[in-house]
């Protein structure tokens, strides 16, 4: 007799195979129908209808968030991941520009440390633009690139390593920060 725990991998394998089948009458994938006259320019394949996805689109290859170089593949410490210069840090810490508006508050966490520069991915931003983040606990601020991220406005945000350091936040904390846009 097969133990119930050993049946689980077999059931999962069958479910995975069932999801990969095609409609034998049309050859279409079961996820949707082919959109007539629509061809994906990247693959040359017909576009298949499906759910409308929301959120952050993949970044354009080669588009950087700042002029700071990416960290080396051997980077392991916060200092090795932070490739911004003193001049870049000083520029990011300068007084806020006039005409900015408060977008709201968010819970901040460390974003991808391999992405250089000063940025925040947040659902408070509607389009990619310049902005500023402020740590209300100490009043320190940093000019950042606002990058839209899917989700409700109450969802948290991801902040670059140098930006968190500039506003005096420990990389393991989850502080509430204020976000301003231009």
Per-residue b or e along 36-72, where b marks 16 or more CB atoms closer than 10 Å to that residue's CB: eeeeeeeeeeeeeeeeeeeeeeeeeeeeebbebeebe
pLDDT value at residue 44: 65
The per-residue pLDDT for range 17-38, each reduced to its tens digit, is: 555 554 445 444 444 555 556 6
pLDDT at 156: 93
Q: Do the domain assignments include residue 108?
A: yes
Contacts of 161 (CB under 8 A, 6+ apart): 78, 81, 82, 110, 111, 113, 171
The number of angstroms, rounded, from the C-alpha of 2 to the middle of its chain's C-alpha atoms is: 44
Structural domain includes residue 95 = yes
pLDDT digits (tens, 9 = 90+) for 130-139: 999 999 999 9
- In this prediction, residue 94 has a pLDDT band, given cuts at 50, 70 and 90, of confident
Range of the domain at 147: 78-181
pLDDT at 28: 46
Mean pLDDT check: name the lowest of 21-35, 38-52, 131-145, 163-177. Answer: 21-35
Number of domains in the chain: 1
**Ramachandran quadrant class, 156 (left: phi over 0; alpha: psi -120 to 50; beta: rest):** beta
Task: Please check the confidence at residue 55 and state whether its pLDDT lies above 90.
Answer: no
53 within some domain: no
pTM: 0.62
Q: Does residue 174 form part of some domain?
A: yes
Q: Does some domain include residue 47?
A: no
Cβ atoms 119, 147 nearer than 8 A: yes
If you average pLDDT over residues 145-153, what whole number do you get? 91
CATH number for the domain spanning 84: value is 2.40.40.10
Q: Is residue 71 part of a domain?
A: no
Between CA 112 and CA 100 the distance in angstroms is: 26
């Amino acid at each position: 007799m097969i133990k119930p725990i050993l049946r689980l991998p077999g059931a999962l394998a069958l479910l995975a195979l069932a999801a990969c089948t095609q409609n034998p009458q049309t050859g279409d994938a079961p996820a949707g129908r082919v959109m007539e006259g629509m061809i994906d320019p990247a693959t040359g394949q017909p576009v298949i209808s499906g759910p409308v996805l929301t959120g952050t689109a993949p970044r354009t290859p080669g588009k950087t968030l700042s002029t700071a170089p990416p960290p080396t593949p051997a980077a392991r410490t916060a200092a090795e991941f932070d490739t911004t210069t003193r001049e870049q840090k000083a520029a990011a810490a300068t007084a806020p520009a006039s005409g900015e508006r408060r977008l709201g508050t968010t819970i901040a966490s460390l974003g991808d440390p391999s992405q250089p520069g000063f940025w925040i991915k947040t659902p408070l931003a509607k389009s990619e633009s310049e902005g500023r983040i402020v740590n209300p606990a100490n009043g320190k601020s940093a000019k950042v690139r606002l990058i839209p991220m899917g989700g409700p406005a109450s969802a948290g945000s991801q902040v670059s390593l140098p930006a968190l350091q500039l506003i005096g936040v420990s990389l393991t904390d989850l502080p509430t920060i204020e976000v301003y846009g231009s």
